[in-house]
Structure 1
Amino acid sequence: MRTGLGSLVFVFGMGLAGKTWASQTQVVAMAGFVFNPVEATVSPGQEVQWTNQDAAPHTATSDPANPVPGGPDSGTLSAGGTYSWTVPTNAVSGTRWFYHCIFHGTPGDGSSLGAGMVGVIAVTTSAGTLQFTVASTSVNEDVGSVTLTVTRTGGANGVAAVDYASTNGTALAGTDYTTTTGQLTWADGNSDSKTITAPIISRPDTQGSRYFSIALSHASGALIGAPSSSVVTISEIGPIIKANGATGNVTVNYPNAVSVAVELYPGDNAGVPVDWWVIARAGSSWYYLDSAAGWTDAGAWRPAYQGALFNLPATEVLNITGLPVESYTFYFAVDYPLDGILNVDGPILVDSVNVTVQ
């Protein structure tokens, strides 16, 4: 349970590549008696899928005079029908397959499109790939927003676009962050980096870190590279204490192990000199973690550590098997100023976890 500044009745710190490629399907709609897009830009090995959105039947049939063999040949597609064809992996940049609908178009002469319902598959190996610069990142909950960068590398031939959308993890849209969706676009010849900004919602009542992700999808004019998604971890500001990896109330069956770990994210307070405290209560008895003596109940309480606030990853301060059947509360706190005295009246930040051994 997180307690705010100065609101503590009694508290307690610490004992202190190779690039991968993802082939994306290029969708061509058969709608309104046209192929959309009329010219589909693809890469070697990429799948092309035609979908008939009209009531009338259609085909995607390679022109007889097509200078490149092995083009698409769907046969008749009724309403709602689909057909997939994969661009040969040895196709070279500049290759163009001309095709038509045998019911509503006429083939060309091998050097140009025919008339009516016609289309072309244009191969390029220099359209580039679209990917995040990082697979994961961490931000403090008071940061306001997180910005992720998407790059276009390996070429910039043709117009390119990619959709993006956020997905919940332990962080929830509307509670921890704002739903983030949209599309990034690049003009022909443009390879500038693009950014995605997701607002972060500060929640002082939360416990521990939580995460969400943003993923790229439905690329056109280029492939999606790796990483295709980026995980954003939102770190809680202040001290966090967990028992067996959990916050709040934890139940353990005797004589199973109890592991207590602490972590801290200082936010804008990094560098402020404070006392760090780790304290445990077992029934009516109190114990504290001393930097020299370890866990003890002897003498006046002393801080586990004294020094500037810094970003402390999860650090185990207790691991014990056979803890007697009892109710325990573990506290982790930082107080100001740095004076070796537990300032229960603040300013102080404290977190606690309850453990019941049964």
Structure 2
Amino acid sequence: MGNLSYLRYLHLNDNELYGNIPLSLINRDLEELNLDDNHLMANDLSLIAWLDKLNPTWATTQTPYSGPSLVLFSFTTYSVMENEGQATITVIRIGASDGAVSVDYATSDDTAKTGSDYIATSGTLNWADGDAADKTFTVEIIDDEILENDNLILSLNNATGAVLGSANTAVLTIRDNIGDKLECAEVTEIPPAECEVLVALYKSTGGANWKYQNG
């Protein structure tokens, strides 16, 4: 959502939307936003501040979701630095908490490939009767020598005792730790001092909004 640079007006009020508002919603060019009268939540303080400024009534008009039990990803996009070793993915249960619930999870390739970028994983998450706590699973990340950002797909299937929420698929982006791999002594296209500044800038931003080009 944050990449839709030409988006100026977004009205999603009264749509029975539920779940966490993603940080990617932030769009500095957005002029109007209306999320009133849904079942939404926000956890990030910078996101909350942005929402409060653009849509002051969003928080006070949300009501708890009271429909049947739903299971879904906490967000539709996740990211992890390649050298962190693993990504923790959260699945939430909202709505009615009576009855036991289970759901299967799995990973699949997109631009990230099993065995070279990450270790494929699958399994089942379980909630007991009355249990509404968040559940997590991890995806093991492989730190390779190739400079690239890759995506893999996360999916939820075969829910029992509950209904799959709309966020039943998500994308995990593996961001390359280029700052740990780049040796400025080997760079000939720019002066070493400039290279050091670029590497420091990359590290300070965690690699956000950087692209790699070979050749």
Measured against the shorter chain, the TM-score band is 0.5 to 0.7
Identity, % of aligned positions: 28
Instruction: Tell me: CA distance 1:315–1:219, structure 2 relative to 1, closer, same or farther (3 Å).
Output: closer
Local SS of the residue matching 1:306: helix
Counterpart-to-counterpart distance in 1, 2:67 and 2:18: 16
CA shift for structure 1 position 159: 1.2
* Structure 1, gaps ≥5 residues long: 1-16, 22-124, 239-265, 268-273, 281-287, 290-300, 317-350
AA at the equivalent of 1:189: G
Counterpart-to-counterpart distance in 2, 1:186 and 1:158: 8
Alignment map for 1:10-49 (pairs within 5 Å): 19=17
TM-score by length of structure 2 reads: 0.59
AA at the equivalent of 2:160: S
Counterpart-to-counterpart distance in 1, 2:76 and 2:144: 25
Counterpart-to-counterpart distance in 1, 2:148 and 2:197: 23
User: Does 2:90 correspond to 1:149?
Assistant: yes
- Provide the residue aligned with 1:209 in structure 2: 149
TM-score by length of structure 1 reads: 0.37
Counterpart-to-counterpart distance in 2, 1:188 and 1:141: 37
CA shift for structure 1 position 160: 1.0
Counterpart-to-counterpart distance in 1, 2:213 and 2:139: 31
AA at the equivalent of 2:86: S
Structure number with higher strand proportion? 1
Local SS of the residue matching 1:203: coil
CA shift for structure 1 position 220: 1.1
The correspondence for 2:194, drawn from 303, 310, 313, is 303
Does structure 2 conserve the Cα–Cα contact (< 8 Å) formed by 1:137 and 1:231? yes
Counterpart-to-counterpart distance in 1, 2:194 and 2:148: 23
AA at the equivalent of 1:142: N
Q: Number of aligned residue pairs: give it.
A: 150
Instruction: Tell me: CA distance 1:153–1:162, structure 2 relative to 1, closer, same or farther (3 Å).
Output: same
The correspondence for 1:132, drawn from 73, 91, 106, is 73
The correspondence for 1:226, drawn from 160, 166, 188, is 166
Local SS of the residue matching 2:158: strand
User: Rg: which structure is higher?
Assistant: 1
Does structure 2 conserve the Cα–Cα contact (< 8 Å) formed by 1:150 and 1:195? yes
CA shift for structure 1 position 306: 3.2
Computed over aligned residues only, the root mean square deviation of the Cα atoms, in angstroms, reads 3.3
* Structure 2, gaps ≥5 residues long: 1-11, 20-65
Does structure 2 conserve the Cα–Cα contact (< 8 Å) formed by 1:127 and 1:158? no
Counterpart-to-counterpart distance in 2, 1:191 and 1:163: 17
Structure number with higher helix proportion? 2
Give runs of ≥4 in structure 1 deviating > 3 Å.
Answer: 274-280, 304-309, 312-316
